[in-house]
Structure 1
Amino acid sequence: MKKLIVGISIFFIFFSFHHQKGLAKIDSETTLIEKSLSLVQEGDYVHSANLIEQFEVKYMENAKKNKDFTPKDLETISVTFQNALQTLENDASDSQEKIAKVLGLRLLIDARETSVQPMWKEMKNAVMTPLHNMDSAFERGNTEAYDIQLNQFLHQFEIIYPSLLSDLSYDEVKKINSLVSFLDDYRVNKEALPAFSQKLDQTQTELLMIFEQGNSIFPPATFWTLFTTGGIIVGTLCYVGWRKYIGERNKNKKQREHND
């Protein structure tokens, strides 16, 4: 029985090692995009684009061999790569737009590679704050403040949109995309639409649900593995304790019979 407990302990060590090894592999694969993001923040767009081009070749080659990637996934990733490169090479694009495109690419790669909490969910405050401010400005009738916050919201939403395409179902993306498009399309005559306030509220509700759904400190596979293994350990310890109790009881019974 001790050997069984030792074996289970070794399993935990083995599992933890491979889990950490998997995370290390992800870090290694994304080194180029991390460096590219750092360079674009420093204003070095040429070298940033060069690193992205290197990364694209390597990443897309591996992605095409991966059966988990659907044609739609490959298209989303390819388009996001090209948008980032075109923006970096476009002198008319400002620094914020260049950073946004590369950051969007980085978040998408993370969404595809990680099994834990995706990085794009860390953008919750950046997306939800201007959306909340839009609601306040609309209620006050401050059109200028509303437009400023709407532009900020659309900017932040565009950053996470490729990740949403990767992580959410088609219906979820379609629904939230329709709501965001409505806010953008009717920004001029929003006061004339009786249902505009409801659409604004609905957009906040839907996005909040998206950011909060599936939040967990463990990835699903890890959780169930630990849960199952933990159950085995608890069961084993209970079984050992029960057998020990039965053994001691029988021993005492024999001693009593012998004494009698």
Structure 2
Amino acid sequence: MKLRRFLLFAMIFLLIPISVNAQTQSPIERLDDISDEALQMVKFHRYEDAKKLLDYFSNQFKTVTGTERKLTLDEVRIITTSHDEAMEAAVSPDMKHEERINKLTKFRLVIDAIATSHQPLWTEMEDQIMMAFHQAKEAAVNGDSAHFHSNFNTFLSLYNVIYPSMKIDVPVENIQRLDARIKFIDEYRSQVLTDLGGQQELDNLDQDLKNLFSNIEDDEADPSLWWVIISTGSIIIATLSYVGWRKYKGEKDMRKDWSREHKD
């Protein structure tokens, strides 16, 4: 009976932080949700609804910047610029749907990079970006000018989507190195197609892109999750120790009783 009460208490004790965490959402996390909702509205061609959400975001952003962690001037500038582009996409009378989605996605990724300290969403675009780049690289090696230009343009478009959020998470020297390589290849495309030295730049950029994604740390567990894990482990150990002690004590008492009976 005592063991059951102990286990019941342990379960209640563990559920308390989970329940509190589930009901608590920071202002920045709410802004993250708004940016996601705006993106979804654009995907469904509901541009007016996306505009309303972006207006709401703007109002909320003014009220929460003083209550959350202090944003740097660069972070505020990146958020403001990406928000302006998202608003342009929502209200433009003639912008193509795919371009609207790209601008809202860029905005969404920026807010996620601000809201989370681990495994940002922009890293999820690694496969798309690397595929476009590798196709461009293969076309360059084969001397296929048309496919090289087409695939490299696709790579630039995708890279542009994650670029603002990258600037939040990636050291500035790494960004500058990537910028220099990409700018060289873009400006000297004909040289890349015909010159071995130019194609070496593709290899260098390939490695830099791999480093970009691999250097972003794997998702670290939330501190509250670590607390639950540690607490769970401690309680399990304590429970097993208690059960083992009860079993040992019971067996010891039985041996004592057996000894007394045989002595008698």
The reply to whether TM is greater than 0.5 is yes
The question of whether the paired residues in 1 share the 8 Å contact of 2:38 and 2:51 is answered with yes
Which residue of 1 is the match for residue 60 of structure 2?
58
Deviation at 1:219, TM superposition (A): 3.2
Please tell me the root mean square deviation across aligned C-alpha atoms, in Å: 3.2
Which residue of 2 is the match for residue 143 of structure 1?
145
Q: Structure 1's 83 and 220: CA in aligned 2 closer, same or farther, altered over 3 A?
A: same
Select which of 17, 20, 42 maps to 1:18.
20
Deviation at 1:220, TM superposition (A): 4.3
For this pair of structures, how many residues does the alignment match? 259
Looking at structure 2, the residues matched to 182 and 147 of structure 1 have their Cα atoms a distance apart, in angstroms, of 14
Map 1:167-178 onto structure 2 (within 5 A). Answer: 167-178=169-180
Which residue of 2 is the match for residue 214 of structure 1?
217
What stretches of structure 1 move > 6 A for 4+ residues in a row?
23-27
Which residue of 1 is the match for residue 79 of structure 2?
77
Deviation at 1:58, TM superposition (A): 0.8
2:246 counterpart of 1:235? no
Deviation at 1:199, TM superposition (A): 2.9
Which residue of 2 is the match for residue 201 of structure 1?
203
The 3-state SS of whatever aligns with 1:69 is coil
The amino acid that maps onto 1:184 is D
The 3-state SS of whatever aligns with 2:98 is helix
The question of whether the paired residues in 1 share the 8 Å contact of 2:90 and 2:100 is answered with yes
Give me the TM-score of the superposition, normalised by structure 2.
0.80
Deviation at 1:67, TM superposition (A): 1.9
The amino acid that maps onto 1:134 is A
Once the two structures are overlaid, the 10-residue window that deviates more, 86-95 or 147-156, is 86-95
Q: Structure 1's 187 and 238: CA in aligned 2 closer, same or farther, altered over 3 A?
A: same
Once the two structures are overlaid, the 10-residue window that deviates more, 63-72 or 152-161, is 63-72
Deviation at 1:188, TM superposition (A): 3.4
The question of whether the paired residues in 2 share the 8 Å contact of 1:64 and 1:74 is answered with no
Looking at structure 2, the residues matched to 30 and 181 of structure 1 have their Cα atoms a distance apart, in angstroms, of 32
Deviation at 1:91, TM superposition (A): 5.7
Map 1:145-160 onto structure 2 (within 5 A). Answer: 145-160=147-162
Q: Structure 1's 65 and 28: CA in aligned 2 closer, same or farther, altered over 3 A?
A: closer
The question of whether the paired residues in 1 share the 8 Å contact of 2:35 and 2:54 is answered with yes
Looking at structure 2, the residues matched to 88 and 129 of structure 1 have their Cα atoms a distance apart, in angstroms, of 29
Deviation at 1:228, TM superposition (A): 1.3
Q: Structure 1's 44 and 249: CA in aligned 2 closer, same or farther, altered over 3 A?
A: closer
Once the two structures are overlaid, the 10-residue window that deviates more, 49-58 or 84-93, is 84-93
Once the two structures are overlaid, the 10-residue window that deviates more, 223-232 or 99-108, is 223-232
Looking at structure 1, the residues matched to 20 and 257 of structure 2 have their Cα atoms a distance apart, in angstroms, of 51
Question: Which blocks of at least 5 consecutive residues in structure 1 are unaligned?
Answer: none
Deviation at 1:179, TM superposition (A): 3.2
Deviation at 1:136, TM superposition (A): 0.9
The 3-state SS of whatever aligns with 2:114 is helix
The 3-state SS of whatever aligns with 2:207 is helix
2:254 counterpart of 1:248? no
Same amino acid, percent of matched pairs: 20
The amino acid that maps onto 1:102 is L
The amino acid that maps onto 1:173 is I
Once the two structures are overlaid, the 10-residue window that deviates more, 25-34 or 112-121, is 25-34
CA deviation string 1:191-247 (max 9, x = no partner): 46544333323333333344454344x734355234312321332133113312431
Give me the TM-score of the superposition, normalised by structure 1.
0.81
The amino acid that maps onto 1:70 is T
The 3-state SS of whatever aligns with 1:65 is coil
